Amino acid sequence: MIVLSGRVHPGESNASYCIQGAIEFLASNASEAKFLRNYFIFKIVPMLNPDGVAEGNYRCSMLGVDLNRRWSLPSPISHPTIFATKYLLKINEREHGVALYTDFHGHSRKRNVFLYGC
């Protein structure tokens, strides 16, 4: 399984364009996309912070919380999208195995394409 997510920081609108491009590619007739669909199940969460986006916040949710800093112990009440995505990852890891999880972001100073990994 491959899990893709984006837009945990509302001001990083370029993450939405990247997720949209990934979805369009994966749904295309390209031979590489067909190969990936044959070998992997894709779960896509295109917007992890919809209330922050709707409020026009730059980094925070409607409650004023940076959701990207809540992955270690998310609350189902205060951080529902992070809680649900983490649950999705745990369940699918047990059932199918998660080969890759990628969270699409933007950056205020980095240019072009870059990757942070842990």
User: How is residue 29 annotated by DSSP?
Assistant: -
Q: Which pLDDT score, from 0 to 100, does residue 117 have?
A: 67
Tokens 């809680």 belong to 83
**Which is more confidently placed, 108 or 18?**
18
**51 within a domain of the structure (yes/no):** yes
Backbone angles phi, psi at 101, to 5 degrees: -125, 125
| Helix, coil or strand: residue 93 | helix
> What's the pLDDT tens digit per position in 45-81?
999 999 999 999 999 999 999 999 999 999 999 999 9
d(CA 91, CA 109): 36
pTM: predicted TM-score of the whole model, two decimal places? 0.88
Q: Which pLDDT score, from 0 to 100, does residue 118 have?
A: 64
What is the tally of structural domains in the chain? Answer: 1
* Cα first-last separation, the chain: 19
What is the share, in percent, of the chain residues with pLDDT greater than 90? Answer: 81
**109 within a domain of the structure (yes/no):** no
Residue 38 belongs to domain spanning: 2-104
| Average pLDDT score, the chain | 92
Domain with residue 81: its CATH number is 3.40.630.10
**23 within a domain of the structure (yes/no):** yes
Q: Which pLDDT score, from 0 to 100, does residue 23 have?
A: 97
